Amino acid sequence: MPEIFWDILGIPATTDTSKIRKAYSKLVKEHGPEDDEEGFKKINGVYKAACKFAANFERLGVSDEQIVITDKRPDGSFGVKFLDKDGKPLYPTPPSTLPELDPRFAGNKTAEPQYVEDREFDFESIDSSVIKDYSFEEVSERAGMISFATGFAVPDSPKTRKIKKFLDDNKIILDLSKRVMPGEEKDGRGNGLRIAKLILDSEFIDQKVIWQFFFTSPLVISLRTDLEFYRMLENVINARKLPVNQLIAIAEGSGMRPRIYTNPSKAAESIKEPQKAIDFVSRVPFRYEKGKYPKLDEIMKREKPEAYKELTDFLSTIPINLYGILMPVVVPWHKEALQEAIYAFNYIVRTPQCRKMSEKRILWKMFVQGTLVRRPLVYKEDFLAALTKQTLDFDIPKEVLVAFKKEIGKFQYASLKRKEGSDDQYYLNIHASKQTMGKGEYRRAMSKSEAWGTTIGMILMTLFVIVSVYFYEMYLNGSI
């Protein structure tokens, strides 16, 4: 009779791990890894196989008598049948698809949210006092510290203390990494949504800060790449029909700019009416202050000092949050980033002040190097295609386009085309279908023209030598 691993372990087939362990420990004490290497290898292999068996069939909840070994094969494998209590065969049922959610959040179920297709911001109803409370300082502090671990490195202030109290009172533990490790999206997603609902249901005033806590908690950070989670979250939020103030607070807390549009068609529409969008943005009472945005400063410092000064002066005079547009804060993995980039492009070419700056390339430099354009590489093709389409029906001065071409052309083919029947109007032509031009390729293209220059130079040199030799000989012959 062939020997299968239950025979080696000396126990009947079981799904009880403790029984397997007991048998294994008895055997291992006789054949330890120190004394009997071959024996230990065999026992350890058998033990691992038995544990796997137990893990696979534990959920059936069958007792040892209900497991029947049907046949034993020479290679050590075997057939197995499970019986129910009446001795009839029981077939393994597939595992339930979703594991149970953390019971702490189970009590707060609401009806499944519906996606609200056309939802518009009421620009008039924005109460600026809601936003005034919070400075950007808090946001930058959050970027450095809170992401660490919520409640651990958060700056201590009356506001954060209030929030901590709220979290404690409601037994919300945003530091959910203790329950869910990154990678187990299913549990994390569910718990994240439940907490979001809890916060939405509370009548908590400091919405923005609590959303900051939420979005920077290890739980949500671990879901960073889970686009589905963000979509579900959006549905949950939209289903509430919240006042605009609160929506702005959520957007601010999440690091996203207040979203003016929820779908692409709306986005296109608002671009057609740029004044509306600009008006909205200029209501946000933030001004650029030097030294507050380290990343932006860093990029700008790479430029010439006078240009840097000019730009900072410019940024501090305009009443809009240009920082938010150019170095956004839109989560770069979000598909929304594409719309934001197009919006930023439009904003620059349309606003007279920006347009003036953009002629000098520095604004374009920020645009191209900023996280907005550089990071969502996934949407790069879409972005360029959209840009090509968008710009065709605008009147953009030649200088602006030249500056843009010079900047973006560093890594992308771009060309200017003259508009038919017009002398001073051009449109941008970007070869979106072509592969991005790498640095090396660009250099090669450069060296090609240089090579031509060198060849012509060489020919001229040779001609010069020949001619001078000819004259020299004539001189020797006494002709001259």
Residues of the shown chain interacting with another protein in the complex, contacts defined by CB under 8 A: 18, 21-22, 24-25, 28-29, 32-34, 37, 40-41, 44, 48, 144-145, 148-149, 152-153, 175, 177-179, 181-183, 218
Three-state SS at 78: strand
CB 38 within 8 A of CB 30: no
CB 49 within 8 A of CB 5: yes
Q: Which lies closer to another protein via its Cβ, residue 144 or residue 285?
A: 144
CB of 420 to another protein, least distance (A): 49
- Which burial class, exposed, middle or buried, applies to 355 when counting CB atoms under 10 A from its CB (0-12, 13-18, 19+)? middle
Q: Which lies closer to another protein via its Cβ, residue 178 or residue 439?
A: 178
CB of 44 to another protein, least distance (A): 5
CB of 58 to another protein, least distance (A): 14
CB of 199 to another protein, least distance (A): 21
CB of 350 to another protein, least distance (A): 40
CB 251 within 8 A of CB 97: no
Residues forming a β-bridge with 72: 78
Q: Which lies closer to another protein via its Cβ, residue 24 or residue 134?
A: 24
- Which burial class, exposed, middle or buried, applies to 245 when counting CB atoms under 10 A from its CB (0-12, 13-18, 19+)? middle
Q: Which residue stretches of 242-293 are H helix? A: 244-254, 264-272, 274-283
CB 426 within 8 A of CB 444: no
Q: Which lies closer to another protein via its Cβ, residue 9 or residue 348?
A: 9
CB of 306 to another protein, least distance (A): 25
Q: Which lies closer to another protein via its Cβ, residue 159 or residue 283?
A: 159
CB of 40 to another protein, least distance (A): 7
Q: Around Cβ 66, how many Cβ atoms within 10 Å?
A: 18
DSSP code of residue 239:
T
CA atoms within 13 A on the CB side of 8: 22
Q: Which lies closer to another protein via its Cβ, residue 37 or residue 127?
A: 37
Q: Which lies closer to another protein via its Cβ, residue 48 or residue 374?
A: 48
DSSP H helix total and E strand total for the chain: 23, 4
